[in-house]
A = this chain, B = another copy of it.
């Protein structure tokens, strides 16, 4: 449970808000690279942290990310012409390069270009994503080189979808491992049922014990479920500040999947899904859900809006809910989105009751509030270094005789083995707050 002030502090991301300023200290996924397929192609609208931007790929391939509105009379540059290394406003022909400099003014007999600039944010491309950084130039962190972005294209894929609620409740739904074997369960095995996770051989769902270790990039956490044969089923995740989750696919599959929950504005977010495989075989089977091939879930041409949404009750099927799946909604990600959107645009956290199964939720809020304080004091918040570059997720079914940390840590930290110590005092506070 939070106070109203804390809830506002955590959820609002406009320029000048505490969380808004904190978010602006990180690189943000802005576009799929294929949305800007060619130099001098059509510009694309981007809305991030409540700001309206326009992106374009210049003649030299670089991506410009400008304020949407021309500084002259504020016509939308989205209507603009993407010409020889610059975006030109169609109203009076003022033209801007990727750094925001004005390089031409067609309507003035004696131009004064050198006095004109449009806000421009730096960009980089990694993992098929155009990232941008909207914060103070002198605070720009190293580029967001997540391990999965370094794999060959055949071993990674990425997609996105708009979600009609605040970013934090989407994030909290994603890092919440305790719902995993409840909400997403199948009531009976149905080989034609797409997107429904079923208990694997020898793996049983149910209420997990949750362990959370605070780190310099965020935290790692583990859901531990006792199995009928006396073994333990342990899932190991990472949370990287401020909105990233890495998660395992399933036991015996060396894959790291994950999400970025990126604020479009206070009441809308973009959910990014990535899939990567560390195994020799390619990731191909997920491609139907990514890139141009979203199938029937996402209306890609209509701004990546989901087909199932609040206006159609997420196409819930009450008969299916009776007999086949717990929710009656088709697709894991669709189930998550339905439940998170059902809470309303910004959930009222003054009226919730958390328990020990919500430790990851509590840890996230604690770290985000800490980051806001750090930024306000002029410091660098967690996750702005590069320690998260090596991270992978891990999962195993292990006998109680085995120390599962010894098994999972080398998988989850392939380079350092997780050498840096966890922050035990902060962890103690989180445990206390969530209840024991």
Interface contact A107-B357, CB-CB below 8 Å? yes
Q: Which of B69, B209, B352, B435 contacts A74 (CB 8 A)?
A: B352
Q: Which of B92, B339, B356 contacts A108 (CB 8 A)?
A: B356
Interface contact B92-A178, CB-CB below 8 Å? yes
**Chain B neighbourhood of A72, CB < 8 A:** 352-355
Q: Which of B74, B78, B81, B342 contacts A347 (CB 8 A)?
A: B74
Q: Which of B79, B183, B361 contacts A90 (CB 8 A)?
A: B183
18 contacting pairs across A/B (C-beta < 8 A): A69-B343, A73-B172, A73-B354, A73-B361, A74-B344, A74-B348, A74-B351, A75-B339, A75-B340, A76-B343, A79-B314, A79-B342, A81-B326, A92-B183, A107-B207, A108-B207, A108-B355, A108-B357
Does chain B have a CB within 8 A of A42?
yes
Chain A 165-188: CB-based contact to B (< 8 A → 1; otherwise 0): 000000010000011001100000
Chain A 322-359: CB-based contact to B (< 8 A → 1; otherwise 0): 00001101000001001110111001100111111110
Does chain B have a CB within 8 A of A93?
yes
Q: A74-B347, A316-B79, A352-B71 are in contact. Are A182 and B339 (CB under 8 A)?
A: no
Does chain B have a CB within 8 A of A294?
no
Interface contact A92-B182, CB-CB below 8 Å? yes
Q: A78-B342, A109-B207 are in contact. Are A357 and B182 (CB under 8 A)?
A: no
> Closest chain B residue to A349 by CB distance?
B74
Does chain B have a CB within 8 A of A115?
yes
Q: Within the assembled complex, what's the spacing in Å between the Cα atoms of A347 and B70?
A: 11
Most buried by B among A340, A342, A351: A342
Does chain B have a CB within 8 A of A304?
no
Distance of A395 from chain B, by nearest CB (Å):
19
Does chain B have a CB within 8 A of A389?
no
Q: Which of B41, B69, B116, B183 contacts A91 (CB 8 A)?
A: B183
Q: Within the assembled complex, what's the spacing in Å between the Cα atoms of A208 and B76?
A: 23
Dominant secondary structure of chain A at its interface with chain B: loop
Interface contact A209-B109, CB-CB below 8 Å? yes
Does chain B have a CB within 8 A of A424?
no
> Closest chain B residue to A224 by CB distance?
B109
Does chain B have a CB within 8 A of A215?
no
**Chain B neighbourhood of A376, CB < 8 A:** none
Does chain B have a CB within 8 A of A106?
yes
Distance of A404 from chain B, by nearest CB (Å):
17
Does chain B have a CB within 8 A of A318?
yes
Distance of A35 from chain B, by nearest CB (Å):
14
Does chain B have a CB within 8 A of A112?
yes
Does chain B have a CB within 8 A of A105?
yes
Distance of A376 from chain B, by nearest CB (Å):
27
**Chain B neighbourhood of A316, CB < 8 A:** 79
Q: Which of A62-97 contact B (CB under 8 A)?
A: 69, 71-76, 78-79, 81, 90-93
Q: Within the assembled complex, what's the spacing in Å between the Cα atoms of A267 and B435?
A: 42
> Closest chain B residue to A351 by CB distance?
B74
**Chain B neighbourhood of A206, CB < 8 A:** 106
> Closest chain B residue to A81 by CB distance?
B321
Distance of A386 from chain B, by nearest CB (Å):
33
> Closest chain B residue to A338 by CB distance?
B79
**Chain B neighbourhood of A42, CB < 8 A:** 318
**Chain B neighbourhood of A78, CB < 8 A:** 342
Interface contact B182-A79, CB-CB below 8 Å? no
